[in-house]
Structure 1
Amino acid sequence: MRALSAVNKYILRYKWHFLGGVLFVALSTLLAIFPAQIVRYAFDLVGEGIDLYYLYEGTQAQSGVYELFGRNVLLYGVLILTMALLRGIFLFFMRQTLIVMSRLIENDQKNEIYQHYQSLPLSFYRRHSTGDLMSRISEDVGRVRMYVGPALMYFMQLVILFVLIVPLMFMVNVKLTIYTLLPLPILSVSIFYVNNLIERKSDEIQRSLASMTTFVQEAFSGIRVLKSFVREEDSHHQFSVASDNYKDKSLSLNFVNSLFFPLILFLVGLSTIVTVWIGGQEVIRGTITTGSIAEFLIYVNLLTWPVTALGWTSSLVQRAQASQARINEFLDQKTDIVSRQNVELDIKGDIVFDHVSFTYPDTGIQALRDVSFRIHPGETLAVIGNTGAGKSTVAALLSRLYDVTSGSIKVDGVDVRDLSLSSLREQIGYVPQDVFLFSDSIRNNINFGLENPTEERMLQAAKDANVYENIIRFPEGFDTKLGERGITLSGGQKQRVSIARALVKEPKILILDDALSAVDTNTENAILGALQRIMHNRTSLIISHRVSSVKLADQILVLDDGVIVQHGTHEDLMQDTDGLYRALYERQLQSEEA
């Protein structure tokens, strides 16, 4: 239960819902107990009335006994119906307080987890799969909700029932009470084990379904590859195996479910038989009345569901505890990417890397080694090198997606670790290497980084990214809905929309991380021509493995295995015939000619 103590703050937040729920549970329970006592009086009245009726047979008093008997039975009937109606009303409010509270807590917890997810650094996402993150915010939170809702509600109901009913039963007859309650613990333990078996099989089914869904999603996403390699039959066979596995597990769960209710009915019936058998013997001895047996039967039926639910709620609490522990594991992780002084700065664009080294915390791979360079305001620096040279790491460190292992990065003379994170990132236009577009309209994808976008800025950004003509050819133009990850567009179009998304912010610092890799040479030249105008008097960082993308930069930095091996203009670097830059240039020139 230690893990579940994290939920107490939410219960305290909705304390009036909780206290109201406790009140309505108590009132509904009381209104379930009183009718049992009225039924006892009614049964006894029937017995006594029949005896008196025959006792006064043949006299005038007989009709008076009949009328009195009828009025009392009617009164008891009206009282029982009234209490049943009131109990129904209180049960409604019980669920409207406790179950509503659980839904509110579920909503708050999901929001808290999602907000916490967004505060965590990129290294966290490299360590955990998307499926794991999703299961904790959906499935695990759902299990915790079952604890703060149904589990608490039924447990309170059971406690109040036992506290009120068991003393009443002992007051009537100790022996009958003991024998009546004897099967109930067996019922609770049986339900606990059967429910755990059901939950375990349900988990297996969910995993089997998730595996089958993932397989189908991959097959449909990669249908071109599947058809081109003529693997339809093999794919169908694999799906059949997964589907049969799901079917077998579902049938196994159905078998256990089939045993569930017969087991409950058997044990409830056993309690009823014991009550009638032992109660009958006590009536013969004269220690109790027949009305007491009726009262006990109502008590047994009242206790049956809460006792049954005890096994179920115990299982719910166990699962909620495990789920909350998984949630706490993530909530306890704190980001180390925080501002030391929260400096708000209107950036001019003077960037200095001072002996920067960086090792990825999750893999231990050293990406940069003692890297130093400077970009003056309004200048364009290009970073080029082979795959794995550390080019993208430069962009990630400048945007402070990671912190340097050693050395420092300064913007306008201020260490980026002292700058406000939001202030820094809002003034950087970043086009990542791995383009990601949302399942939304093209308009909203381009305007993603703006609070109050204008039509003129959006259209100009699309023109500068050389994607305007492509967009207006679509039937719905800028309101065209993109599929998952922008699947509606080609690779080059997606990259250009991503560039437009960065340009529309009119950033102080523009970072293009291999942003032209998916476009042809003509489109690349057109974009570069537009970017030359945009990058004028704006600090820009172009990261690429293509020489054609970087030769217009003021300075070019050549990285090899995380180390700066060359630094200068295109003309200067081309004069070094043994340099890496010249080798890259000639290799790509030969490739284009071929």
Structure 2
Amino acid sequence: MTQTHPATAHNAEPTDTPLPRRVRSPLADYPLLRSLALYRMIPVLFSATLALFTVVHLSLALQQWLIGRALDAVNSGKAATRLPDGTIDLSVAWHWAALLIGLAAGRGVLQYISGMCSIRASQSLLSNLREKILVQVQTLHLGYHWEHGMGEMITRTTRDADKLRDALVAFWRQTVETALVVAAAMGLLFWYDWALGAVPFVLTLIGFWIFVRQTDTLVVLDRNVSDAYDQVNQDLSEGIGGVRVIKSFRLEQGRIRKFRGHVHFFLDQSRHALAWCSSRIPIPQAVVALGHVWIMAYGAHLVVAGVLGVGELVSALLIATTLVFRVETVGRVMRIFADARASAARIWDLLDEEPALVGGARTLPDGPLGFRLDAVRLLAPGGETAVLDDCGLTVEPGQIVALVGSTGSGKSSLASLLPRLADVNGGAVSVGSETLGWLDVRDLHLADLRRRVHAVPQDIFLFSDTLAANLRAAAPDADDDALVEALRLAGAEELLARLPEGLDTRIGDRGVTLSGGQRQRLCLARALIAAPDVLVLDDATSALDAVTERTVLHNIRGLRGGHGGRMTVLLVTSKLSSVLLADRTVVLAGGRIVASGAHEDLLSDPLYRDLLGIDDRAAA
């Protein structure tokens, strides 16, 4: 008697839609400006923060001007006067003190509020950017991940994002503040005398120009450091992920030496960048500091000439000192921006990558599904070598078909075409039936296709979460009874009995607490709970013993897909026990399907016998 699977999530509506091709951003060649342009997403917070910064830092000129006026009042004897009775009248002095203290306190409060707003704006922007990165990483095709590696992906989402965060914070704390302080300082100096402000203004421009000229070198140096850091991350990821292989072959010392070499190279690149910055950045700072000398000399001349008061000269010197201290931070800011410019370029390179696989507009009709390959051709990355060539195959709904072939013959590549994890370079892959019609997978919603055509890869992967959470990854709405039934169908019911907390047991990173066979059965249960119409098992029973494998495949044979018909199964295998449970077998060699038929019919084929380890006497 056949069993109907309890999962109900298969009726959900597909969520993906065809994505329009991205329009090239006018700021594509300026990745840091493009990142800062994201502030347009929070216009109210950005405008409020900018207004607060403007009020706080332009009021610096007013504060320094008032200090000059107060000093002039003291110098002229107006701040404190002796009365006829011998007492001293300090009312004017108290007036100036109250005014200056009040202004400083007000600026302090506004500066605190503006700082909090800037941090909130920066964090909001960074959170949005990290979300974009995560969405893009999940959207990009598998080939991109294979080409760039885990280490590079981790670097872009951590180190590069952190450097961009530093730039977003520095944009407010240093860039906006510096621009406003320079404007306030120059405004006050030009207010006193145009010549008094002209020379510091020119020197400041020269200093900024020198800083800008240095940024290209800083970007190159930071890219070198980032590339070296990628190697450290990649080596660390491989060392952790492949720890069992490393220990099995006693590779610890070799891996340590290799990792140490990458770390030392990273440190060399970092030291080189730091040494260059330390020797070059003080030069423009010294140029800007010459303005202080000019204000002292020319300001003294104006005081002697009676054009400028002593208090105003002191005020000019104070604001010039503020300007020098502020400009000294520009070197650090330029380095932060140079680092962030390189990191922003790497992040936008990732975000601008076009998804190679875009879903179509059609959905699959209700009813059992099979699949068909029509002259399928698939090229290896680089487009030179054919992995599959002129492959044709039709599998009717409800059939269990075994796919056998030597290592590297293209079995996994063929299996990846059905749920459209990769696209063909020629021919077509279709799903459907003679009754429903055949639909090219490229015309279908990806969500709808992958909901009804499910693949269990040969690479076992489990999330570092509970057993229930791992199973519900394929059917979020499944109840506990459905989870238990899926485990039974996958031959893993005894595993559930052994776990201390049942379905709520955490199974560790990648299921490290389980054996290979247990992990494989959990992956099978996760696939079965979704009740797909087509199930692709890419060597997904290799870790099971013959008895368990026979039980699992017998259970699968009795299942029905989510749309009523018997489940269609493509079983990629190299085990004779698996082949004997299939309705027919397909032989793949050199990227071509060279034979197809029942096991008994293929025994006369020498290649078939070699693949399954059947000697000539047994075949006879």
The TM tier, using the shorter chain, reads 0.7 to 0.9
Task: Look up the match of 1:487.
Answer: 512
Give the deviation of 1:3 after TM superposition.
2.6
Which residue of the other structure, out of 412, 417, 431, is the alignment partner of 1:411? Answer: 431
Is the counterpart of residue 558 in structure 1 residue 578 in structure 2?
Answer: no
Is the counterpart of residue 11 in structure 1 residue 39 in structure 2?
Answer: yes
- Between the aligned partners of 1:276 and 1:88, the Cα distance in structure 2 is 29
Task: Look up the match of 2:577.
Answer: 548
Q: What SS does the aligned partner of 1:129 have? A: helix
Which residue of the other structure, out of 188, 200, 205, is the alignment partner of 1:168? Answer: 188
Task: Look up the match of 1:369.
Answer: 389
Deviates more, 1:161-170 or 1:388-397: 161-170
Over 3 Å counting, the alpha-carbon distance change for 1:402 and 1:188 in structure 2 is: same
2:48 counterpart letter in structure 1: G
Q: What SS does the aligned partner of 1:505 have? A: coil
Give the deviation of 1:398 after TM superposition.
1.0
Task: Look up the match of 2:307.
Answer: 287
Task: Look up the match of 1:60.
Answer: 84
Give the deviation of 1:544 after TM superposition.
0.8
- Between the aligned partners of 2:360 and 2:257, the Cα distance in structure 1 is 57
Give a deviation string over 1:529-583, Cα, whole Å, max 9, x none: 4333337922111111222112221121111112121111112222xx2442233
Task: Look up the match of 2:459.
Answer: 434
Which residue of the other structure, out of 105, 108, 111, is the alignment partner of 1:85? Answer: 105
Give a deviation string over 1:279-327, Cα, whole Å, max 9, x none: 3454344332210122112211332344234444444444444333333
Give a deviation string over 1:36-79, Cα, whole Å, max 9, x none: 111111111111118995xx7xx82764xx31xx1111111111
Task: Look up the match of 2:66.
Answer: 38
Deviates more, 1:355-364 or 1:240-249: 240-249
- Count matched residues: 581
Task: Look up the match of 1:570.
Answer: 599
Contact 2:456-2:536 at 8 Å conserved across structures:
yes
Over 3 Å counting, the alpha-carbon distance change for 1:336 and 1:247 in structure 2 is: closer
Task: Look up the match of 1:539.
Answer: 568
Matches within 5 A, 1:440-479: 440-479=465-504
Is the counterpart of residue 331 in structure 1 residue 360 in structure 2?
Answer: no
Contact 1:342-1:421 at 8 Å conserved across structures:
no
- Between the aligned partners of 1:238 and 1:113, the Cα distance in structure 2 is 30
Contact 2:379-2:386 at 8 Å conserved across structures:
yes
Deviates more, 1:221-230 or 1:156-165: 221-230
Which residue of the other structure, out of 73, 96, 107, is the alignment partner of 1:76? Answer: 96
- Between the aligned partners of 2:381 and 2:247, the Cα distance in structure 1 is 41
Contact 1:151-1:316 at 8 Å conserved across structures:
no
Give the deviation of 1:127 after TM superposition.
2.2
- Between the aligned partners of 2:80 and 2:100, the Cα distance in structure 1 is 25
Give the deviation of 1:391 after TM superposition.
1.6
- Between the aligned partners of 1:228 and 1:538, the Cα distance in structure 2 is 40
Which residue of the other structure, out of 415, 418, 443, is the alignment partner of 1:395? Answer: 415
Deviates more, 1:120-129 or 1:336-345: 336-345
- Between the aligned partners of 2:341 and 2:254, the Cα distance in structure 1 is 42
Deviates more, 1:184-193 or 1:404-413: 184-193
Give the deviation of 1:238 after TM superposition.
6.1
Give the deviation of 1:9 after TM superposition.
5.7
Which residue of the other structure, out of 508, 512, 515, is the alignment partner of 2:537? Answer: 512
1:109 counterpart letter in structure 2: L
Q: What SS does the aligned partner of 1:541 have? A: strand
More helix by share: 1
Give the deviation of 1:107 after TM superposition.
1.4
Over 3 Å counting, the alpha-carbon distance change for 1:288 and 1:324 in structure 2 is: same
- Between the aligned partners of 1:432 and 1:165, the Cα distance in structure 2 is 66
Which residue of the other structure, out of 367, 371, 379, is the alignment partner of 2:399? Answer: 379
- Between the aligned partners of 2:149 and 2:256, the Cα distance in structure 1 is 27
Give the deviation of 1:521 after TM superposition.
3.0
Give a deviation string over 1:110-164, Cα, whole Å, max 9, x none: 2223222322222222322222223333333444444444225533333333344
Matches within 5 A, 1:208-357: 275-357=295-377
Give the deviation of 1:397 after TM superposition.
1.0
1:580 counterpart letter in structure 2: L
Which structure is larger by alpha-carbon Rg, 1 or 2?
1
- Between the aligned partners of 1:124 and 1:368, the Cα distance in structure 2 is 20
Contact 1:31-1:84 at 8 Å conserved across structures:
no
Runs (5+) with no aligned partner, structure 1: none
Give the deviation of 1:102 after TM superposition.
2.2
- Between the aligned partners of 2:417 and 2:615, the Cα distance in structure 1 is 28
Runs (5+) with no aligned partner, structure 2: 1-26
Over 3 Å counting, the alpha-carbon distance change for 1:266 and 1:106 in structure 2 is: same
Matches within 5 A, 1:125-204: 125-151=145-171, 154-178=174-198, 184=204
Contact 1:557-1:564 at 8 Å conserved across structures:
yes
Over 3 Å counting, the alpha-carbon distance change for 1:212 and 1:119 in structure 2 is: closer
1:452 counterpart letter in structure 2: D
Over 3 Å counting, the alpha-carbon distance change for 1:590 and 1:328 in structure 2 is: farther
Task: Look up the match of 2:18.
Answer: none
Deviates more, 1:557-566 or 1:217-226: 217-226
Over 3 Å counting, the alpha-carbon distance change for 1:586 and 1:259 in structure 2 is: closer
Task: Look up the match of 2:118.
Answer: 98
Is the counterpart of residue 582 in structure 1 residue 615 in structure 2?
Answer: no
- Between the aligned partners of 2:61 and 2:614, the Cα distance in structure 1 is 90
Contact 2:216-2:338 at 8 Å conserved across structures:
no
| TM, length-normalised to structure 2 | 0.82
1:138 counterpart letter in structure 2: T
1:60 counterpart letter in structure 2: P
Over 3 Å counting, the alpha-carbon distance change for 1:363 and 1:500 in structure 2 is: farther
- Between the aligned partners of 1:110 and 1:51, the Cα distance in structure 2 is 58
Deviates more, 1:232-241 or 1:355-364: 232-241
Over 3 Å counting, the alpha-carbon distance change for 1:272 and 1:40 in structure 2 is: same
Over 3 Å counting, the alpha-carbon distance change for 1:39 and 1:543 in structure 2 is: same
Task: Look up the match of 2:5.
Answer: none
- Between the aligned partners of 1:238 and 1:352, the Cα distance in structure 2 is 47
Over 3 Å counting, the alpha-carbon distance change for 1:51 and 1:480 in structure 2 is: closer
- Between the aligned partners of 2:615 and 2:509, the Cα distance in structure 1 is 33
Q: What SS does the aligned partner of 1:327 have? A: helix
- Between the aligned partners of 2:352 and 2:236, the Cα distance in structure 1 is 35
Which residue of the other structure, out of 513, 521, 527, is the alignment partner of 1:502? Answer: 527
Compute the RMSD of aligned alpha carbons.
3.7
- Between the aligned partners of 1:82 and 1:474, the Cα distance in structure 2 is 68
2:552 counterpart letter in structure 1: I
Q: What SS does the aligned partner of 2:362 have? A: coil
Contact 1:341-1:418 at 8 Å conserved across structures:
yes
Contact 1:557-1:567 at 8 Å conserved across structures:
yes
Task: Look up the match of 2:23.
Answer: none
Contact 1:99-1:150 at 8 Å conserved across structures:
no
Over 3 Å counting, the alpha-carbon distance change for 1:246 and 1:316 in structure 2 is: closer
Task: Look up the match of 1:29.
Answer: 57
Identity of aligned residues (%): 27
Give a deviation string over 1:457-514, Cα, whole Å, max 9, x none: 1111112212221242132333332333222222211111111110111211111111
Give the deviation of 1:264 after TM superposition.
9.9
Over 3 Å counting, the alpha-carbon distance change for 1:532 and 1:82 in structure 2 is: same
| TM, length-normalised to structure 1 | 0.85
Q: Which has the higher contact order (CA 8 A, sep 6+)?
A: 2
